[in-house]
Structure 1
Amino acid sequence: HLGNLRRRDYYCNLKLFLFAFIAVWLFVTISSDEDYYKLLGISREASTREIRQAFKKLALTMHPDKNPNDATAHEKFLKINRAYEVLKDEDLRKKYDKYGEKGLQDEQQGGRYESWNYYRYDFGIYDDDPEITTLDRGDFDAAVNSGDVWFVNFYFPRCSHCHDLAPTWREFAKEMDGVIRISAVNCGDNGMLCRSKGINSYPSLYVFRAGMKPEKYYGDRTKSSLTTFAMQFVKSKVTELWQGNIFNEIDRAFAERISWLITFCADTGDCLEPQTRRKLAGMLDGLVNVGWMDCSKQADLCDSFEITTSTTALFPPGSSLAQKGSAMFIQSLDTKEIYAQVLQPLPDLEILTKSSFEHKLAHHRWLISFSFGHNDLASHEYKKLKALLKGSHIQVGKVDCVADSELCASLYIQKPCVAVFKGVGIHDFEIHYGKDALYNVVAFAKESVNAHVTTLRPENFPNQEKEPWLVDFFAPWCPPCRALLPELRKASIQLFGQLKFGTLDCTVHERLCNMYNIHAYPTTVIFNKSSIHEYEGHHSADGILEFIEDLVNPVVVTMTPESFQELVKRRKSSETWMVDFYAPWCGPCQALLPEWRRMARMLSGIVNVGTVDCQKHHSFCQGENVRAYPEIRLFPQNSNRRDQYQSYNGWHRDAFSLKTWALSSLPRASVDLSPEDFKRKVLGGKDHWVLDFYAPWCGPCQQFAPEFEVLARMMKGTVRAGKVDCQAHHQTCQSAGIKAYPSVRFYPHLGTTRRDQGGEHINSRDAPVIADILRQRLQQLALQGKSSKLKVS
């Protein structure tokens, strides 16, 4: 008997070993055979724009329409299409980078594709235009909040009017290059971003500037009309200089170390056009004043400047007519050429050395450009930083890491970069890992000084700290890592005083990352004394806040075999439990966890939610007949057998789909109302009612249905919940004034007064929000009731 048991155990263990071996072999085979980056011929640090460009190049040669005699063309194209669809999406790319294709089992991107003509003529309209910045969800906010003026073209690839505008938009971008920022957003790839900005027609043209409400352009789509509209947002002034103001204006500017660019307009030669002057004033705002002089009216003044024909000259601080060569005369009439010539002689960033570094940074906020022997980052454009950051009280300087190698080494700075020092000494700083474009650097500096994120090093890495820390282990070449950084800054502001935030570059501090077993980027970890929690949520500030809330007030019960028996197997008849049986090494399990927590919050107080770690409790999961991960089971209420359950077989494992499935197993909390019920119970009854007016064919109604059930349970005992089918009972809905589905109306009981058929409209489809509105309304009614009783007495 014992021998049979041992033999059975042996075969069972052998089966498990073979199963594990095959699973690992399949994972390695799939991951190594289908490297998405290699399929598209790009590096792992490729930007979204580079991914689009690489895919388009392949699509034009590999498309089945171009390869009718290749029987494998369809299969080959599906592979590159799948690679593109995954890598262009920030969340999917993170999953793929961390778990390979195993982490994408629930995703079906790339199963269909467009015709060759689409990729040739409609795809990535502006990707090859350097003057047009293609903005995506990840960099849109940083761009439009940088302080620059942004003129944004929201377009859709299949929109004919968008294609008609494209040549004009390109010419307009060249015309305005350097004056304002011209950009484009593909709403086909960034639907959520476009919806959040209220875009519902294409093309939609909007001007954005920090602190200003976005302004829509309604004019003709010609270059001249677009230019006229855009120039009204260039607020810098051009000063007409004459005998009465020139010396005061020049002396005032020179005292502030600001140069003057003056164009002299005489009877002969060419002076700068009024629009060119305005453009230059905008481009040089804060650095150089722009003025002009009419020599036909100011002949003596022009003579004193030795001007005999129209010309333009730059007068740096301290220059004078007596000093030969102190003014720089400019021959060009082209805006961009003049701009480049004017920037060149302007003073460079202040140089900081080891001897001055600590003193300068002790009490002031600084943006520092670290270079290695030549102008790596501090190009002539960077001379504008001082003016652009003056309003934020951020000083600007640079450090040469060849001359001051010891200083840079002490900060672990090994390559050119920009860093913001927060004004509390040299140890609290944050390095910029985004694009080197001026607008990115400005946006970063403004965000960073107000946020509470620190670049970590071995010296300041949290080790048994009393205060909890969030540490983001990342690599600068990883795009999802770079996309997460601004979200960390947002979260650090909201959680200031509760949680400290730090980032650790694993390409620099490899040994420290290895100590914590970091093998994928980004890996975000919460250190709370001896407890360590890895963040697996969405790359957003809201996701981080939700995760922290779950740590403080957990909504998911972590179960042991003993607690499972107690809570699930011996549950009360009124209780429902949902349990996720998972393994930590399983990619889809990890992807499910943030959705599982989100679902638990949605169902809080309605359904109990738990998890079982089957790696830790392997024998227990075997005994429960768990054969694959994740295994989602629902243990219903009022069940005769406590071990009875339903398994989730749905394809989608998002919070909404799981919530809908869970609620479908519960008895309805709302009731269906007929026209007679509506008149008798709602309009004539003595209960408060909240109603959902819907139509069976309406998609948003179907999405709202489980949310309304949550509301019904939240308000049980105080407000009754009912549903009216407007397809079956059209007249009832018409008499209630229902013009859109779903419509939520509140019908309070007002004593003897008969209720209005239309009720009180509630403009929300979120159960907790509606519940709060109803509770506030009930409080108002209670106070009104008390008030009327006092008046009667």
Structure 2
Amino acid sequence: MYLVTFILFVIIPLIRGEDYYEILGIKKSAGQDEIRRAFKKLAIVHHPDKNSDDPNAHDKFIRLTTAYEVLKDNDLRKKYDLYGENGLNDSNKKQTYHSWSYYQNSFIYEDDQHVINLEENDYFENVMNSDSSWFVNFYSPMCSHCHHLAPTWKEVAKLLDGIMKIAAVNCEYDRQLCYQVGIRAYPTLIHFKKNSQHGVHYTGEKSQEAIMRFALDKLNIHIPEISILQLELFLRNRIFTQRPILILICGDQQNCFTFDERLIVAATFDKLVDVKVFTCENDECHEKISFNTHAVYLPMHNASSWEPVFFNSMSDINALIEKLLEQLPDPRELTDNDFDIIKKTEFNVAWLICFYIGDMANLKDLNLQMKKFSINGANLGKINCGRNGQLCNKLGINRYPVWGMLKPGGAFELNHGKATNNDIIKFIQIGVKTTNIRALSAEEALSILQGDNENKVWFLDWYSPWCSPCIRFLSELRRASLEFDASIVRFGTIDCTIHTMLCHHHNIQHYPTAMLLNGSNTYQFTLQKTAVNIIQFINEKRNPSVVELTSENFNHKLAKKKSKVMWIVDYFASWCAPCQRLASEWIAVAKSLSSLSFVNVASVDCEAEASLCASQGIRSYPNIRMYPLGSEGLSKIALYNGQRDSLSILTWITKFFPKKVYDLNPTDYQRVLNSEYIWIVDFYLPQCWHCQKMEPEFAIAAQLLEKVKFGRINCNFYMHECAHIKVFPTLILYKPKQKRKNRNNIDNIRITATTAEAIRDEILELINFRMKHDEL
């Protein structure tokens, strides 16, 4: 009773707090996982159903659920961070509460040790092109069928542990991921084969038997049967094998393992142990095999000591798997010298290394856990930091046990996730792939920062392991690193809890901080921290499409602008969140307009160029300004006040182009059909999103082609002219009148391209080849 009172004393003040983060007892950097866990712990204690004697329980819980509902929603959380509760709609503040079972059931798989919980930041890197097969359950806690399936899914995960990755994605919290995957109903079960990008939907019954049958059939494992002669040769070690062998014994007198149990054993030890079956059909085989022998393990050949291991009276498949694990070789004990040799010589091998302190003989569970990881295709090693302290200090090992990956090529990384089997397996799988990212030592980081690697480009991430956004960004960084060869750009991470002085010396004030180093140039990464933005940022710095204006070049480039060119400039501040969101859209705008010689897209960093921005009267960010055609210098300015996405901005810009796209009515359309010119006509619907996306591309294409006429027909108004159009938008090219076959058979060509440059190229190809062929 005393303990309960103490807990309430600690937690209740949090619920009375004014700040939503204080209410949940979390930091402002907390991730979605941390928010859910914090709410779950508090909800258990404070739900009114459990506190009927407290007259304030209802109000407290409304406060708690309000904080949770706001912070779990990324859009609401952003509003709250910027404007506080006043920035939220009233509907979001008046939160009701549900029964405790509602909230309890919102966290269906979170605490299950066998089901892997996947989120957007690790779904693609773990499931796509994986060396393991995956079976993923996309569910919603609001779905009753999902709750009915949950016990079955957990049992399937337990039965298939080590055989197939059984995972779950909560579509209430990862709606964007589920939308990308194409989830339309709950629960949706999708199976992915090894090294696959496309899954197969499971459409069978939601029973354990049916799901297990489907999963085991997808393993595609064949277990060969051997003859009594082969058995005898195996037992006498007369057949050379590349791997140890497990022979499952079956017959009239034996209690045979079932077909599915054999598949489970073979899949569990795939590529480690060859599994075979021997059927004892008469008394002759019992001269070699006892009646109570269920399996025989044949280790790899060893001249000094080799003998079969008989598993007797062992009808339980899990007991057999445990015994078989004990037979596998212990992970190799490594020294600091071994570590350096492996790093320098074994370029095609991955090593999972456990760093520990103490006597491994007393860490039996840890040793057995390591053997299970051998199933995942990496070599296993262990390093005693008591005897190799200098190496462990150099690598930043400050807790035990901790897992690290020495990757093919020599890069090294530590696992900053949980020490559970599932988390370590995820770490192994992504670590083997991401060979172009490494944890940097102080010496390596200094060498890079001092410019000793002049011919190498580095993307550096300064982070702290306790920082949740840092851990999420590490995952995005790994995904981005897969897109670049080390000859183009290398990725390095610097742990500021280890390299404190280095981080302090380089003025790292918040985590994560990322930057691109190219020779003497350093570019701060200020975009939203996603893999897509990292890739775009690096490509943009390598081949810029946005002109960076400074006080040194502003007058030369913009203040002396000629009337035949136009400039569009984004005045921004790197600390401004809307500016950060705009940055990637602005690059997309620049790339779309890059083929037009009279258009320049630029940006000004007002934090670095404060006096320049002040001289232009910039008082808010981002500030998008156009200096249009027909004006010189800064004499004329157009301000943009629309939505800050690339499509909206592009559509606005193209309105200032010279008029080359004509809105056609029925009379105009008839003139097109009888014209002496080549026409391309866009049949569109104003409400059609793809038509809206086509509009600026069509306008840009019109600027690229001098001898082609461009027109648009609004099919809402002119349905008769659009009667032959089935899909919107549709682009049709009409040949000049004299090159058509006859007036009753209009020779027109459908254009399939969707971007300006592709439209230009397709039209030019048709003009240069098909029309010349018609003339011949």
Structure 1 and Structure 2 fold alike (TM over 0.5): yes
Task: Tell me the residue number matched to 2:344.
Answer: 362
TM-score by length of 1: 0.79
Q: Contact between 1:492 and 1:499, CA under 8 Å: does it hold in 2?
A: no
Distance 1:752 1:707, change over 3 A: closer
Structure 1 residue 178: Cα displacement: 3.3
CA distance in 1, matches of 2:229, 2:37: 57
| Matching residue within 54, 74, 85 for 2:73 | 85
Structure 1 residue 252: Cα displacement: 7.1
Distance 1:258 1:41, change over 3 A: farther
| Matching residue within 79, 88, 101 for 2:81 | 101
User: Are residue 672 (structure 1) and residue 625 (structure 2) matched?
Assistant: no
Distance 1:400 1:71, change over 3 A: closer
Structure 1 residue 277: Cα displacement: 1.7
CA distance in 2, matches of 1:508, 1:741: 58
Counterpart of 2:133 in structure 1: which amino acid? Answer: V
User: Are residue 742 (structure 1) and residue 729 (structure 2) matched?
Assistant: yes
User: Are residue 550 (structure 1) and residue 540 (structure 2) matched?
Assistant: yes
Distance 1:697 1:160, change over 3 A: farther
Task: Tell me the residue number matched to 1:340.
Answer: 322
Structure 1 residue 440: Cα displacement: 1.4
Distance 1:193 1:684, change over 3 A: farther
Q: Contact between 1:368 and 1:399, CA under 8 Å: does it hold in 2?
A: no
User: Are residue 258 (structure 1) and residue 244 (structure 2) matched?
Assistant: yes
Counterpart of 1:634 in structure 2: which amino acid? Answer: M
Q: Contact between 1:433 and 1:482, CA under 8 Å: does it hold in 2?
A: yes
Structure 1 residue 435: Cα displacement: 5.5
Distance 1:206 1:396, change over 3 A: same
Q: Contact between 2:296 and 2:308, CA under 8 Å: does it hold in 1?
A: no
Structure 1 residue 784: Cα displacement: 4.1
CA distance in 2, matches of 1:127, 1:705: 46
Structure 1 residue 773: Cα displacement: 4.8
Task: Tell me the residue number matched to 1:472.
Answer: 461
CA distance in 1, matches of 2:69, 2:678: 54
Task: Tell me the residue number matched to 1:329.
Answer: 312
Task: Tell me the residue number matched to 1:405.
Answer: 389
Q: Contact between 2:46 and 2:57, CA under 8 Å: does it hold in 1?
A: no
SS at match of 1:327: strand
Distance 1:407 1:272, change over 3 A: same
Task: Tell me the residue number matched to 1:608.
Answer: 600
Q: Which runs of 5+ in 1 are unaligned?
A: 1-32
Q: Contact between 1:272 and 1:312, CA under 8 Å: does it hold in 2?
A: no
Distance 1:235 1:132, change over 3 A: same
SS at match of 2:136: strand
- Alignment of structure 1 residues 78-477 onto 2, 5 Å: 78-86=66-74, 101-102=81-82, 112=92, 116=97, 120=103, 123-144=106-127, 145-159=129-143, 161-163=145-147, 165-212=149-196, 213-249=198-234, 251=237, 256=242, 258-260=244-246, 262-267=248-253, 270-295=255-280, 297-307=281-291, 309=292, 311-312=294-295, 314=297, 316=299, 326-329=309-312, 331=314, 333=316, 335-364=317-346, 365-373=349-357, 374=360, 379-386=367-374, 388-389=376-377, 395-415=379-399, 416-421=401-406, 428-434=411-417, 437=422, 438-448=424-434, 451-461=435-445, 462=448, 463-464=450-451, 465-467=453-455, 468-477=457-466
| Matching residue within 514, 518, 524 for 2:508 | 518
Q: Contact between 2:297 and 2:309, CA under 8 Å: does it hold in 1?
A: no
TM-score by length of 2: 0.80
Distance 1:141 1:640, change over 3 A: closer
Distance 1:730 1:598, change over 3 A: same
User: Are residue 571 (structure 1) and residue 553 (structure 2) matched?
Assistant: no
Counterpart of 2:204 in structure 1: which amino acid? Answer: G
User: Are residue 536 (structure 1) and residue 521 (structure 2) matched?
Assistant: no
SS at match of 1:139: helix
SS at match of 2:443: coil
Q: Contact between 2:228 and 2:278, CA under 8 Å: does it hold in 1?
A: no
| Matching residue within 754, 766, 769 for 1:783 | 769
Structure 1 residue 569: Cα displacement: 5.0
CA distance in 2, matches of 1:277, 1:447: 31
Counterpart of 1:349 in structure 2: which amino acid? Answer: P
Task: Tell me the residue number matched to 1:30.
Answer: none
Q: Which runs of 5+ in 2 are unaligned?
A: 1-16
| Matching residue within 710, 723, 729 for 1:721 | 710
SS at match of 1:608: strand
Counterpart of 2:331 in structure 1: which amino acid? Answer: L
SS at match of 1:730: coil
Task: Tell me the residue number matched to 2:626.
Answer: 634
Structure 1 residue 348: Cα displacement: 1.5
Counterpart of 1:475 in structure 2: which amino acid? Answer: S
CA distance in 2, matches of 1:495, 1:542: 16
Distance 1:41 1:773, change over 3 A: same
1:553-610 CA-to-partner distances (Å, cap 9, x unmatched) read: 4333333457545554553445443333334444444444343333333343375333
Q: Contact between 1:60 and 1:116, CA under 8 Å: does it hold in 2?
A: no
Aligned residues: 729
Counterpart of 2:320 in structure 1: which amino acid? Answer: I
Distance 1:688 1:503, change over 3 A: farther
Distance 1:661 1:159, change over 3 A: farther
SS at match of 1:625: coil
Distance 1:486 1:168, change over 3 A: closer
Distance 1:785 1:668, change over 3 A: closer
Structure 1 residue 84: Cα displacement: 1.7
Counterpart of 1:696 in structure 2: which amino acid? Answer: P
Counterpart of 1:277 in structure 2: which amino acid? Answer: R
SS at match of 2:722: helix
